[in-house]
């Protein structure tokens, strides 16, 4: 008699975020059911009632840890998991919770909630600020095809790989006129592909939510952007999602400081 293959034990956790990436997971529907034949979901607060803390083969984490409780849980999950994957831009780069400049938090809390408000949140930082993360599934929200691709690669014992092309590649395949050629800013050339250039196809620029791709020519793009946007606008593009990336700190920030004299 053939023995049934051992199922991968999976935990899906969420920190501070909008839960939109988990909705993408649910929206896989039949494809999610097919994955569930090969994995055991041990813990998923949003998806099932009975959950347990166990050892996990794979933990997917959505959201940004902003309280000490969330940071402690993240560290515990790292200890208990073989693979830990950031799921969505809030987890991989800080995302929406990190858009605000952290130095301005006190000012905005005071303005919105009043002086009595005592926030529980600390800084909004990506998972990699606290623990080693084995792979990042970027996107705000994540793309369904990317979830399936990464899960399939893990289930077949492979190390998932990042896409080897930029958003521009898929943008060209979609037949969009190029914003940069028409004098409008766009971060497509330095952004990892995989989203299908959905924003540009819908009439918006790319703000880089899939993260900076390897070998991106950021200095070259900054020189091009300088000819079509002022410093504040360039800063706004790069701080929407990329504020906590190594590339922002090592290349874009010094560039902006030089521009500011
Ligand atoms: S990455 Fe975007 S869609 Fe996903 S949880 Fe964060 S804000 Fe929501
Ligand atoms: S519009 Fe943006 S994403 Fe599309 S080709 Fe031009 S630079 Fe690349
Ligand atoms: S076009 Fe850019 S901002 Fe939009 S989903 Fe793709 S990577 Fe993210």
Distance from residue 90's CA to the centre of ligand 3 (Å): 14
The reported pLDDT for the residue numbered 2 is 55
Task: Give yes or no: residues 113 and 184 share one domain.
Answer: no
The reported pLDDT for the residue numbered 153 is 92
Q: Taking a C-beta distance cutoff of 8 angstroms, is the pair 127, 121 a contact?
A: no
- 14: Cβ below 6 Å to ligand 1? no
Task: Give yes or no: residues 139 and 199 share one domain.
Answer: no
Task: Give yes or no: residues 131 and 180 share one domain.
Answer: no
Give the chain's domain count: 2
pLDDT per position as a tens digit, 205-261? 999 999 999 889 999 999 999 999 999 999 999 999 999 999 999 999 999 888 877
Strands 56-62 and 81-87, by their bridges, are: parallel
Task: Give yes or no: residues 222 and 118 share one domain.
Answer: no
Q: Which residue puts its alpha carbon closest to atom 6 of ligand 2? A: 178
Q: Is residue 175 part of a domain?
A: yes
Q: Is residue 1 part of a domain?
A: no
Domain containing residue 132: 8-99+106-155
- 17: Cβ below 6 Å to ligand 1? yes
The reported pLDDT for the residue numbered 144 is 92
Q: Is residue 121 part of a domain?
A: yes
Tell me the C-alpha distance between 83 and 98, whole Å.
Answer: 25
The reported pLDDT for the residue numbered 111 is 92
Cα 36 to chain centroid, rounded: 23
Given a cut of 70, the residues of the chain with pLDDT beneath it are 1-5
The reported pLDDT for the residue numbered 101 is 78
Q: Model-level pTM? A: 0.90
Task: Give yes or no: residues 171 and 224 share one domain.
Answer: yes
């Amino acid at each position: 008699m053939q023995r049934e293959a051992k199922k991968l034990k999976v935990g899906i956790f969420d920190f501070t975020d909008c839960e939109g990436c988990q909705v993408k997971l649910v929206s896989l529907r039949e494809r999610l059911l097919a994955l569930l034949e090969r994995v055991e979901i041990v813990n998923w607060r949003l998806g099932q009632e009975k959950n347990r803390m166990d050892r996990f083969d794979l933990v997917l984490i959505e959201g940004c840890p902003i309280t000490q409780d969330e940071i402690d849980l993240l560290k515990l999950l790292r200890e208990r998991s073989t693979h830990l994957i950031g799921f969505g831009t809030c987890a991989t780069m800080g995302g929406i919770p990190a858009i605000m400049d952290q130095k301005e938090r006190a000012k905005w809390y005071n303005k919105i909630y009043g002086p009595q408000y005592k926030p529980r949140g600390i800084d909004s930082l990506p998972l990699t600020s606290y623990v080693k993360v084995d792979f990042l599934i970027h996107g705000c929200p994540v793309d369904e095809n990317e979830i399936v691709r990464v899960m399939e690669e893990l289930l077949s014992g492979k190390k998932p790989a990042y896409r080897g092309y930029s958003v521009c590649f898929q943008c060209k395949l979609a037949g969009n006129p190029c914003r940069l050629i028409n004098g409008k800013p766009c971060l497509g050339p330095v952004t990892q592909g995989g989203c299908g250039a959905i924003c540009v196809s819908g009439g918006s620029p790319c703000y880089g939510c899939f993260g900076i791709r390897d070998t991106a020519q950021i200095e070259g793009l900054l020189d091009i952007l300088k000819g079509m946007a002022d410093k504040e606008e360039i800063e706004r593009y790069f701080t929407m999602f990329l504020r906590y990336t190594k590339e922002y700190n090592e290349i874009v920030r010094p560039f902006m400081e030089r521009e500011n004299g």
